[in-house]
Amino acid sequence: MTGFLRGSVTATITPFTEDGVDLETFAELAEFQLKNGTDALVVLGSTGEPATMTEAEKDSLMRFSAERFGERTKLLFGSGGNCTRDAVNASIRAERAGAHGLLCITPYYNKCTQNGLAEYYRAICEAVSIPVVAYNVPSRTGVNILPETMARIAELPNMAGIKEASGNMAQILETARLIREKCDLYSGDDALNLPILCAGGTAVVSVVSNLVPRDVKALAEAALAGDLARAISLHDALLPLVKACFSEVNPIPVKAGVNALGFSAGVPRAPLTPLEEGHRAELYAAMKHYGLKVIA
């Protein structure tokens, strides 16, 4: 299927307190996104640290998101995993909680075959009636959805697209060629938002938009409208901030950045650690250079 996502999508952080998920701060962050034009939100994607959350915490955040924001924006809930049975059950729970779509990372650690990937996404798609987005990020999972495999997966009726974060533009271009008119291509790598949009991508799933949602939205709009000069200008300005947001593994830096904007997002959960001081200085410098007010 095509046409599910268009524009800018923010991969939201999950704010934590010592007692659990901070739902009120999450609501503040979601409001900040919607007021600045973000087209959809990903909840419980990699940026949201679902690997460190209990099932009860995930269910609570999904229900809260759907009740508070489900009528105002599209919500994608992360529901993938390295056990197909568990990923199917998580996808069913996410649909029941009010998801408009699912973001399903490839199975990690198991290092399944390409046939295994195809069967994994088939099982998820057949278990739910809402759109499903495949998430390809080999650096985290050890598994890569090859273009020919994605062409097979794209035949599933409710497969809406692939969030590409492989970092391999040659592969991404070949995937785009093979899935065109079947499902959509989304950027999952802020440094490659511009070239992926220019290759026919229809949306960006962004981390840096946690800090600058209005500008990521403007970049997506410009590229989709064919205003390449404006898109290039916006992308060039964003790149130093993007680099600072990935000085350590995501979401360590961006969570520190959200706190520096004045929100109370807390710190990442172990085994992730707070941003190291040298990288914190780099992040704050990049934010200030970009024109953001840093509250530290």
Please write the tens of the pLDDT for every residue from 21-40: 999 999 999 999 999 999 99
**DSSP secondary structure of 165-208:** -S--HHHHHHHHHHHTTTSEEEE--GGGHHHHHHTT--EEEESG
**Could you give the percent of the chain with pLDDT greater than 70?**
100
Cβ pair 267, 251 in contact under 8 A? no
Asked, for residue 272, whether it belongs to a domain, the answer is: no
For residue 167, which of 203, 137, 140 has the smallest C-alpha distance?
A: 137
Which residues are 25's β-sheet partners?
Answer: none
- Peptide bond before residue 251 is cis, with ω within 30 degrees of 0: yes
- Give the integer Cα–Cα distance in Å for 187 and 125: 21
214-243, pLDDT tens digit by residue? 999 999 999 999 999 999 999 999 999 999
Mean pLDDT in residue range 142-148: 97
The question of whether 58 is a catalytic residue gets the answer: no
Return the pLDDT at 41.
98
What does the alpha-carbon distance between residue 39 and residue 73 come to, in Å, rounded to a whole number? 7
Q: Is the pLDDT of residue 93 over 90?
A: yes
List beta partners, residue 164.
Answer: 136, 187
Please answer whether residues 111 and 142 qualify as being in contact, where contact means their C-beta atoms are separated by less than 8 angstroms: yes
Is residue 218, in this structure, part of any structural domain at all? yes
pLDDT score at 74? 98
Write out the residue range of the structural domain in which residue 130 sits: 7-225
Name the percent of the chain in helix, strand, coil, to the closest 5.
50, 15, 35
Roughly how many angstroms between the first and final C-alpha of the chain, as a whole number? 45
Contact of 48 with 11, CB cutoff 8 Å: yes
- Judge whether 67 lies within some domain: yes
Q: Dihedral, CA atoms, 104, 51, 145, 79, nearest 10 degrees?
A: -10
Instruction: Please say if 163 is a catalytic residue.
Output: yes
DSSP structural state of residue 163: E
* Counted domains in the chain: 1
Check if the beta carbon of residue 222 is closer than 8 Å to that of residue 26: no
Q: Which two tokens stand for residue 173?
A: 């271009």
Residue 66, domain member (yes or no): yes
pLDDT at 72 over 80: yes
Residue 293 lies in a domain: no
Distance of CA 242 to the CA centre of its chain: 14
- Tell me, what amino acid is at 55? E
% of the chain beyond a pLDDT of 90: 99
91, 128 in Cβ contact below 8 A?
A: yes
Determine contact, residues 164/175, Cβ cutoff 8 Å: yes
Catalytic residue chosen out of the listed positions 135, 217, 255, 284? 135
Catalytically annotated residue among 58, 74, 163, 255 = 163
- Residue 296 located in a structural domain: no
The pLDDT value recorded for residue 228 is: 97
Q: Is residue 234 part of a domain?
A: no
**CATH number of the domain where residue 30 is located:** 3.20.20.70
Whether the predicted pLDDT of 296 surpasses 80: no
User: What's residue 26's pLDDT?
Assistant: 98
Within a domain: 43: yes
pLDDT score of 286: 98
